[in-house]
Amino acid sequence: MSLARSHSSIPTDTGWPDGSIAGVAALVRERAGRDLVALDRTFIQRCLERRCLATGLVGPEEYQDRLATDPAELALLVASLDVHHTEFFRDPLLHALLEERVLPGLALRKDTEGGSEIRIWSAGCAAGQEAYSVAATLLEIADAWRRPIRFRIFATDASEEQVALARAGRYTDASVRNVRLRQLRRWFKPDGASWVVGDGLRSAVDFSVHDLLDTASSSPPASIYGGFDLVLCCNVLYYYRPDVQLRILERLQACLRPDGFLATGDAERDVVLSSSVFQSAALPSSLFVRWR
Ligand SMILES: C[S@@+](CC[C@H](N)C(=O)[O-])C[C@H]1O[C@@H](n2cnc3c(N)ncnc32)[C@H](O)[C@@H]1O
């Protein structure tokens, strides 16, 4: 199984032998308490290449020596392994599909099911932009239909820091650049150089810390049970080893309704299709439907 590694321009073949990567991993585990075992090898290698470039050190051996003696470099390497980049309405095609088809369809389906709530999970939500984007879309559909739509959005991340940022809901000018002007006026309050999510949107999302690798619970404990109609797990699987990706997918499958939707990043499409549990809901998007 190979994923398209499209979002880096750094060449992959730079001679980081497995032994050197294992040496770095042992050092990181011992000194920083961070286990790299579940991470994708190519991803780790790229992080190491970037740090080598940044430090001016060319080879694995020199870099390993530096790591062993420089706690600041160790901290920078560990930080580079945590990628939290996200955006409001990050994938335009996915968000168009959610707005025009998936969310209205789920709302109508719930009507026929006695008015139960739409259950959504943003897994690996980083600073909350994905969950707030979906909440704004649902609230705007309800406005257009001139009636409330019952829904709950759970949003989780393994990083406590990211969850705190998401709850605070404070964003820079640059990070709201994908938000339409009317949405900015409607859902955000300006505060100095920031935009702060207003109560209408904030109260629509329940943020909590949850690790997708946690074997104790396959869905966020805050949700009590899974039963999700839509799970967004975008740009998270990418960083993991193929077998770990499949393990995470199994958990997501377990907490989705049989006809529920899964959204991922584009680079994760192949792994989802290889799991044989999901099929494309709308090519060429990275939206899938659980069919088993
Ligand atoms: C690149 S961001 C993607 C954010 C958002 N889903 C998006 O597509 O814009 C990946 C996020 O996944 C989180 N993450 C990585 N591994 C995780 C895990 N095992 N459990 C929960 N969150 C995880 C990271 O902390 C990070 O905030």
Nearest ligand 1 atom to the CA of 38 is 19
- Ligand 1 pocket residue status of 255, Cβ below 6 Å: no
Nearest to 231 by CA among 96, 151, 122: 122
Q: What is the pTM of this model?
A: 0.92
The more confident residue out of 5 and 243 is: 243
- Ligand 1 pocket residue status of 158, Cβ below 6 Å: yes
Enumerate the CATH 3.40.50.150 domain ranges in the chain, comma separated. 92-290
Tokens (6 digits) for 261: 């939707």
Q: Which of 125, 157, 241, 269 to mutate to test the pocket of ligand 1 (most atoms within 8 A of CB)?
A: 157
Provide the CATH number for the domain formed by 92-290 in this structure.
3.40.50.150
Residue 1 has pLDDT above 70, yes or no: no
Q: What is the pLDDT of residue 292?
A: 72
Structure confidence at residue 14 as a pLDDT band (50, 70, 90)? low
Q: Which of 236, 246, 262, 286 to mutate to test the pocket of ligand 1 (most atoms within 8 A of CB)?
A: 236
User: Which residue puts its alpha carbon closest to atom 26 of ligand 1?
Assistant: 84
- Ligand 1 pocket residue status of 235, Cβ below 6 Å: yes
Q: What is the mean pLDDT of the chain?
A: 92
User: Which residue puts its alpha carbon closest to atom 7 of ligand 1?
Assistant: 86
Length of the chain: 292
Q: What is the pLDDT of residue 275?
A: 86
Nearest to 127 by CA among 153, 90, 157, 92: 157
- Ligand 1 pocket residue status of 229, Cβ below 6 Å: no
- Ligand 1 pocket residue status of 86, Cβ below 6 Å: yes
Q: What is the pLDDT of residue 94?
A: 98
pLDDT in tens, 132-149: 999 999 999 999 999 999
Structure confidence at residue 12 as a pLDDT band (50, 70, 90)? very low
Please state whether beta strands 256-263 and 151-157 pair in parallel, antiparallel, or not at all (unpaired): unpaired
- Ligand 1 pocket residue status of 124, Cβ below 6 Å: yes
Residue 128 has pLDDT above 60, yes or no: yes
Structure confidence at residue 16 as a pLDDT band (50, 70, 90)? confident
Structure confidence at residue 218 as a pLDDT band (50, 70, 90)? confident
pLDDT in tens, 49-106: 999 999 998 789 999 999 999 999 999 999 999 999 999 999 999 999 999 999 999 9
- Ligand 1 pocket residue status of 162, Cβ below 6 Å: yes
- Rounded distance from Cα 287 to ligand 1 centre (Å): 17
Q: Backbone dihedral region of 16: left (phi > 0), alpha (psi from -120 to 50 degrees) or beta? A: beta
Percent of the residues in the chain that have a pLDDT greater than 90, as a whole number = 86
Nearest to 228 by CA among 244, 208, 252, 205: 252
Nearest to 233 by CA among 224, 246, 217: 246
Nearest ligand 1 atom to the CA of 210 is 21
Nearest ligand 1 atom to the CA of 129 is 9
Nearest ligand 1 atom to the CA of 265 is 8
- Ligand 1 pocket residue status of 130, Cβ below 6 Å: yes
pLDDT in tens, 147-202: 999 999 999 999 999 999 999 999 999 999 999 999 999 999 999 999 999 999 99
